Amino acid sequence: LSEPPVVRATALGEQGLLAGLGQGALWLDSSTVNPSFAREMGAACAARGGRFVDGPVSGSKGPAEKGELGFFLGGAEADVAALRPLLEAMGNSVNHVGPVGMGAAMKMVVNLLLGAGGAAFVEALVLGESLGLDRAKLLDGLLGGRMVPGFLTPKKSALTHRSYDTNFPLQWLHKDLQLVSDTAYETGVSLPTAHAAKELFAMARRAGLGEQDYIAVYEAVARGAKG
């Protein structure tokens, strides 16, 4: 499910899933939500006699199709053990990172790196092009190198052809960065780079790029560079 309000409506609505939850039933929420919201859903589930694990995934369309997703799980050890065989059929990495809310916490960390890393890379690309460097040579020289995160390597074709078939929609990474910002506010942590990345993705979304792959943020930076 896309975001916390949708999860809340699906779970707590008049005909929501918690209304028909059996005693001792186990709910795994693999949505990307903020930790405080995951704990809220965990408490609501427990109040109805159920068990809850927050288990967001790492990986987008390609890994999902190949059964290579990664899971970050927050919940009781016994509940995680019950889920593990199912998750191992969908992914190749199942990590129990703590009690309820900690799976969501780990996903906040991961998607901060995804958003900030992607933003920094496209800015570097635009700078290189402004200095007269050929984009193809920039991509060949940077992607796969020590200075660039590995998750950007599969974006080479998209950036070469400026065609952004969607694996992870830009609008949802913007949403995730907003959740990172909300979480930082709740915990009193200052994250200036995260907030800057969030605003860059907001600008790209307002430019009509929301349904394209998140690396289409390049287009927003490139347009801005030209004034």
Q: Is 66 a catalytic residue?
A: no
Q: In sequence order, what DSSP letters do the residues of the chain get, joined into one string? A: --SHHHHHHHHHSTT-GGGGPPTT-EEEE-S---HHHHHHHHHHHHHTT-EEEE--EE--HHHHHHT-EEEEEES-HHHHHHHHHHHHHHEEEEEEEESTTHHHHHHHHHHHHHHHHHHHHHHHHHHHHHTT--HHHHHHHHTTSTTS-GGGGGGHHHHHHT----SSBHHHHHHHHHHHHHHHHHHT---HHHHHHHHHHHHHIIIIITTSBGGGHHHHHHHHHT-
Tokens of 62: 């390609």
Residue in 61, 66, 107, 156 annotated catalytic: 107
The residues annotated as belonging to the active site are 107
